[in-house]
Chains A and B, each alone.
Chain A
Amino acid sequence: KAGVTQTPRYLIKTRGQQVTLSCSPISGHRSVSWYQQTPGQGLQFLFEYFSETQRNKGNFPGRFSGRQFSNSRSEMNVSTLELGDSALYLCASSPNPQGSGANVLTFGAGSRLTVL
């Protein structure tokens, strides 16, 4: 069974640009969450999607957005990039937040974004 796949794994952008990151969850998983990991702030929750609906949102500015498609794949977008957006962005999936697999997240390897 394939794990959570995140693309691209590495990317470099300049300030002011925008970026889109993609996440393919484990087959059959319907919930996707996104986290930002930085040395200074650690792991911080961005948002969670289930059945194409945002269930939960962290404390990030509106420049950070996401969406989920009908096949459960998810994308997140960061507009007007700032130096502080440099981070490892982790995607996690779970079967169903309302079922027996609730609260058990499987993480991808992440997308490492560097903003110059």
Chain B
Amino acid sequence: AQSVTQLGSHVSVSEGALVLLRCNYSSSVPPYLFWYVQYPNQGLQLLLKYTTGATLVKGINGFEAEFKKSETSFHLTKPSAHMSDAAEYFCAVSDSFGNEKLTFGTGTRLTIIP
């Protein structure tokens, strides 16, 4: 069975500063990893995904994440935070290609300080 741990339920960064949201996974098989963002009163939007291949994955809105198998991590970063990045971010894992059953982390609420 898979699981995801997101360290830090709340993260605050200043506008223009580096954003780092942490995600560690547990999976008995090579994982498929995802980051989703949720704005208030909206559904989830896919930021990026890792399935196979390049371990550094670039997503939308300037976000990227690096799959590190040795550390079982998939941390999300953005070099320079923008006010519009304030939202809740979820890391998720699937155990196989085509398995739409995602296991989500508990989420990290990102606050941007002007």
Contacts and interface: CB of A to CB of B under 8 A. Distances in A.
Contact of A108 (B43, B49, B97, B104): B43
* B44, B90, B99, B105: most-surrounded residue (chain A CB, <10 A): B44
Main secondary structure of the interface of A (DSSP, over half): strand
A45 B101 contact: yes
Nearest to A90: B43
A2 to B, nearest CB: 14
Interface in A1-60: 4, 31, 33, 35, 42-45, 48, 55-56, 58
A109 B104 CA distance: 17
B37 to A, nearest CB: 11
B100 A97 contact: yes
Given A42-B106, A42-B107, A43-B90, A105 B46 contact: yes
Interface residues on A, range: 20 to 34
B43 A107 contact: yes
Contacts, number: 64
Nearest to A99: B98
A114 interface: no
Contacts of B84: none
A83 interface: no
A103 B104 contact: no
Given A42-B107, A104-B49, A97 B44 contact: no
A56 B99 CA distance: 8
Given A42-B104, A43-B104, A109 B43 contact: yes
8 contacts: A43-B90, A43-B102, A56-B99, A97-B98, A103-B51, A107-B36, A108-B43, A109-B42
Given A4-B43, A94-B100, 12 more contacts: A33-B101, A43-B90, A43-B104, A56-B100, A90-B43, A90-B44, A92-B100, A104-B49, A107-B43, A107-B44, A107-B45, A110-B42
